[in-house]
């Protein structure tokens, strides 16, 4: 029975790799309570990260509850890694527990690396961005971020993320009417994977993802199936970690 289950999972992984055009898809077992799915994804992602990173790397991470689990599940490294961890984008709108800055500090501590933070809110007025990015501490982080060679980020549904980022009802309605389905680090995608809106913050742009060696995306839960289809493709990401049920849902939609 166990072997059959494993075979089934690797079949689904291969199938999803093909559908999304990704280098690798890894699935956690779907037969656990919904709340545990994020924990399982966090554990799998933290193990994968530890295998992927090497000394000298610059690791960029986003915020979110899934990334918070990646940080929580990561084990302390007895031998410190010589790496630098930075947030992928500014974004101080969310609860501090799930802000990228918090997750950056936690991951760096567990790996024994160093980190730089980005204290810039999401949805900051355009005219305020310019003076802010002249700040030496912010400039420094942005310079390091530009050299990131590995990125791990989450994906959310457009509706959830818009609400979490403090958009009002009218703005959310407009965003959804414009076709937004999925979101990743401030970019909102329609079902076809086109960007329909982006928050005004600083940090990585989507075009930067094409040059980052390894982009890992973590997102689970069947309610995110469409968001994953929208925001994940071989243009940007290399590895997807999700769960069995979400994989099945994506396959049924495609
Ligand atoms: C945000 C990230 O903080 O979290 C996004 O910037 C992501 O990339 C979102 O879409 C996902 O959050 P969660 O809580 O569903 O993992």
The ipTM assigned to this model is 0.97
Question: Does the pLDDT of residue 185 top 80, yes or no?
Answer: yes
65 C-alpha to ligand 1 centroid (Å) = 7
List, for residues 206-227, the tens digit of each pLDDT value: 989 988 999 999 999 999 999 9
Atom 6, ligand 1: residue with shortest CA distance: 185
155 lines ligand 1 (CB under 6 A): yes
223 lines ligand 1 (CB under 6 A): no
The reported pTM is: 0.96
List, for residues 89-143, the tens digit of each pLDDT value: 987 778 899 999 999 999 999 999 999 999 888 778 888 988 988 999 999 999 9
pLDDT band at 31 (very low <50, low <70, confident <90, very high): confident
Question: Does the pLDDT of residue 5 top 80, yes or no?
Answer: no
Given this model, what pLDDT does residue 194 score?
97
Mean pLDDT of the chain: 94
The stretch 149-178 carries a mean pLDDT of 96
Atom 12, ligand 1: residue with shortest CA distance: 64
pLDDT band at 64 (very low <50, low <70, confident <90, very high): very high
List, for residues 67-76, the tens digit of each pLDDT value: 999 999 999 9
65 lines ligand 1 (CB under 6 A): yes
The ligand 1 atom at the shortest distance from the C-alpha of residue 155 is 10
1 C-alpha to ligand 1 centroid (Å) = 35
66 C-alpha to ligand 1 centroid (Å) = 7
Nearest to 198 by CA among 210, 211, 185: 185
Given this model, what pLDDT does residue 125 score?
85
Given this model, what pLDDT does residue 168 score?
94
66 lines ligand 1 (CB under 6 A): yes
Given this model, what pLDDT does residue 126 score?
85
Comparing 34 with 159, the larger pLDDT belongs to 159
């Amino acid at each position: 029975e166990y072997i059959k289950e494993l075979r089934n999972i690797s079949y689904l992984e291969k199938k999803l790799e093909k559908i999304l055009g990704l280098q690798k898809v890894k699935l956690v077992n779907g037969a656990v309570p919904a709340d545990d799915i994020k924990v399982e994804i966090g554990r799998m992602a933290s193990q994968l990260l530890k295998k992927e990173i090497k000394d000298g790397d610059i690791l960029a991470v986003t915020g979110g509850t899934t990334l918070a689990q990646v940080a929580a599940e990561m084990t302390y490294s007895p031998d410190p890694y010589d790496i630098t961890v930075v947030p992928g984008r500014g974004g101080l709108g969310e609860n501090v527990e799930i802000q990228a800055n918090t997750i950056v500090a936690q991951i760096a501590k567990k790996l024994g690396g160093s980190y730089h933070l980005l204290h810039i809110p999401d949805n900051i007025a355009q005219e305020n961005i310019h003076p802010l990015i002249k700040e030496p501490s912010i400039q420094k982080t942005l310079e390091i971020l530009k050299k990131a060679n590995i990125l791990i980020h989450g994906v959310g549904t457009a509706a959830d993320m818009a609400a979490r980022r403090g958009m009002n009802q009218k703005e959310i309605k407009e965003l959804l009417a414009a076709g937004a389905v999925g979101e990743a680090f401030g970019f909102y995608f329609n079902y076809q994977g086109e960007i329909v809106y982006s928050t005004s913050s600083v940090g990585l742009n989507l075009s930067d993802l094409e040059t980052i060696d390894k982009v890992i995306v973590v997102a689970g839960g069947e309610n995110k199936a469409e968001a994953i289809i929208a925001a994940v493709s071989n243009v940007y990401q290399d590895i997807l970690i999700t769960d069995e049920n979400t994989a099945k849902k994506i396959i049924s939609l495609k």
